[in-house]
Structure 1
């Protein structure tokens, strides 16, 4: 946040649940590949890539810890709501979305996963995550009527009612700092 106060020439970037998008987030990998052909080291780019690639696993690990501590339940018995499946807020673009990796990891751990995303009412056919094609987003009413053991905020769309998520009486794992930016109570929120 401090770096973002620079008055010119600076574009702030904020952490999230992993690398997403089809262009700018992937471009550094091309730069590192090309630099290697000239024997130029790109340790920082490669380290950033390793960290970004590991983030979905970190989010799942933290979700597992939170579930264990909050309700004594493992992921294999949990019902998890994934908030947002697009790769960034307020768009429907799914290319390289870290949310899909989160969904896959939750499924592999045995969790029952549902999602809500006003921009992605149905997951489109995708090369890497074809098993999720045509999965439908819940509506706000569906979410209110259902029971979840945890909520994982992966994409912080403006159209989501974040205050309503707190009424679900379960922990919220916030990978986008969405709750704090809206000045909501953080007693059930875990930042990742």
Structure 2
């Protein structure tokens, strides 16, 4: 998993509440077995019309936000199913940071497992960021995971909270398997010391 310590990127404002995982990545694209290649399906039903043409009224297709890597959302971002495909699609497209007043809990945790930083800010702070993203060309933010701060070029600074384990995941780029492997010696010791009757017999 990619590490994330600091990130500077342009902000794309997605001005919708209750964006669920079916909107982020519709169910018809869940048959893929790979964990990559989902970027072209991100927000598919909003991004394209019935003829498969780009919907020029959807923010992801707005040339003003081309190359954005920070997604700004509204309340309850990521509601819906527990699948990790939605974070996969966001990360594949290039979003490393998500900012909203609230996230669905499972989606929030899945983001950390996939190298994405979901930041919870106060509603009034999010509102300020929306106003700037709408009105300032190429509006960008500098995010610092260790300091847990967000800054822009106009002296704005906001603080956000992370648990130590969430911060460590991002700073060290560790997924669930890598976190488990940190305990390799303890696991080996347990396996060696457990009683013999607990060890499966070989055929």
The TM tier, using the shorter chain, reads 0.3 to 0.5
Bigger relative contact order (CA 8 A; separation at least 6): 2
Higher strand content, 1 or 2? 2
What TM-score comes out, normalization by structure 2 length? 0.31
TM-score for both structures, normalised by structure 1:
0.33
Give the structure with higher Rg (CA): 2
